[in-house]
């Protein structure tokens, strides 16, 4: 399922990223105060927005798993959160680089937006250790889903809390007309969000396709060795991420830095 359309999605992602970076370097105007360094905005903010939306999406997939007991939803939730953590790290790194250039410091601890983004990262960073500390596949998927839902619910609450903060250094990129951006910057910014969303979707599809292929190869190997037949990946027969049986492989595992989603 996820292996189909990967070529088209790859080409669309490549085209969107190429167009985005071309516009960033050759079309978007330079910031009057910061100059060229401000262009990191077109990476940092879209990555942060996609990251936070992905955490919520992972929580939705987890809720669907608890509702249907379909392990495919658990797989999707795991992969989405896994890729979101990588994007989260990228957002933190690009934000630190921008902060150093703008404020002269790699980090500002009294700024709610920055600290809240770090807290969200630390919260979801405990997802995998919690998940793979449980050996039983059913309990592993169930407990991980509950955690993903609770952590995902924290993201919009955190958004509201940061928006309600009165003392902040971080600029508000979203929420005003054109996000407070000139039309040229706004156009490139929207395209950058689309490109990052496509990149995120592509990475998720590749990881899911790779896991499914690994499970199928393990199933074929077991059959060739005379083991029991393995049920295909489906509603109740899909192997969990940490299940070695049933042919499944074990998986052990803007001016200043603009706000991610506030």
Least Cα distance to 199 among 15, 1, 3 occurs for 15
Least Cα distance to 95 among 170, 198, 191, 21 occurs for 170
Instruction: Classify residue 249: in a domain, yes or no.
Output: no
Instruction: Classify residue 45: in a domain, yes or no.
Output: yes
Instruction: Classify residue 235: in a domain, yes or no.
Output: no
Please state at what angle helix 112-125 crosses helix 41-68, rounded to 10 degrees.
40
The count of domains in the chain is 1
Instruction: Classify residue 245: in a domain, yes or no.
Output: no
Rounded CA separation 144/131 (Å): 5
Q: Which structural domain range is residue 137 located in?
A: 6-167+178-224
Residues whose CB falls within 8 Å of the CB of residue 95, separated by 6 or more in sequence, listed in order: 44, 48, 114, 117, 257
Instruction: Classify residue 80: in a domain, yes or no.
Output: yes
Q: What is the pTM of this model?
A: 0.78
Instruction: Classify residue 112: in a domain, yes or no.
Output: yes
Q: How many CA atoms lie within 13 A of 93 on its CB side?
A: 7
Instruction: Classify residue 155: in a domain, yes or no.
Output: yes
What 3 state SS string does the chain have?
CCCCCHHHHHHHHHHHHHHHHHHHHHCCCCECCCEHHHHHHHHHHHHHHHHHHHHHHHHHHHHHHHHHCCHHHHHHHHHHHHHHHHHHHHHHHHHHHHHHHHHCCCCCCCCHHHHHHHHHHHHHHCHHHHHHCCCCHHHHHHHHHHHHHHHHHHHHHHHHHHHHCCCCCCCCCCCCHHHHCCHHHHHHHHHHHHHHHHHHHHHHHHHHHHHHHHHHHHHHHHHHCCCCCCCCCCCCCCCCCCCCCCCCCCCCCCCCCCCCCC
- What is the predicted pLDDT for the residue at 180? 65
Instruction: Classify residue 252: in a domain, yes or no.
Output: no
**CATH number of the domain residue 147 falls in:** 1.20.120
Rounded CA separation 234/239 (Å): 9
Residue by residue, pLDDT tens for the chain (262 residues) are: 556 778 899 999 999 999 999 999 888 887 767 777 788 889 999 999 999 999 999 999 999 999 998 888 999 999 999 999 999 999 999 988 888 887 778 888 877 788 888 999 999 999 989 898 888 888 899 999 999 999 999 898 887 777 776 555 455 555 544 446 778 888 999 999 999 999 999 999 999 988 888 888 888 888 888 755 444 444 444 455 654 444 344 433 354 443 434 4
Tokens representing 117 are 């983004």
Rounded CA separation 247/223 (Å): 9
- What is the predicted pLDDT for the residue at 61? 96
């Amino acid at each position: 399922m996820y292996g189909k359309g990967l070529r088209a999605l790859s080409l669309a992602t490549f085209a969107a990223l190429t167009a985005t970076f071309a516009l960033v370097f050759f079309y978007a105007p330079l910031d009057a105060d910061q100059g060229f360094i401000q262009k990191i905005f077109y990476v940092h903010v879209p990555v942060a927005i996609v990251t936070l939306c992905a955490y919520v999406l992972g929580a939705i997939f987890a809720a669907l798993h608890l509702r249907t007991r379909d392990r495919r939803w658990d797989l999707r939730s795991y992969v989405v959160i896994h890729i979101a953590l990588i994007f989260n790290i990228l957002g933190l790194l690009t934000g630190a680089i921008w902060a150093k250039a703008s404020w002269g410091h790699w980090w500002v601890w009294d700024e709610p937006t920055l600290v809240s983004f770090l807290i969200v990262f630390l919260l979801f960073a405990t997802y995998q250790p919690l998940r793979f500390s449980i050996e039983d596949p059913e309990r592993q998927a169930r407990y991980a889903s509950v955690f993903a839902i609770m952590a995902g619910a924290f993201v919009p609450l955190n958004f509201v809390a940061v928006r309600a903060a009165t003392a902040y250094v971080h600029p508000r990129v979203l929420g005003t007309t054109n996000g407070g951006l000139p039309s040229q910057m706004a156009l490139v910014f929207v395209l950058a969000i689309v490109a990052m969303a496509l990149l995120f979707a592509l990475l998720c599809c590749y990881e899911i396709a790779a896991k499914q292929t690994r499970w199928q190869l393990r199933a074929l190997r077991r059959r060739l060795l005379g083991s029991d037949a393995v049920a295909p990946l489906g509603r109740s027969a899909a192997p969990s991420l940490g299940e070695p049986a049933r042919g499944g492989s074990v998986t052990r595992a803007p001016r200043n830095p603009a706000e991610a989603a506030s």
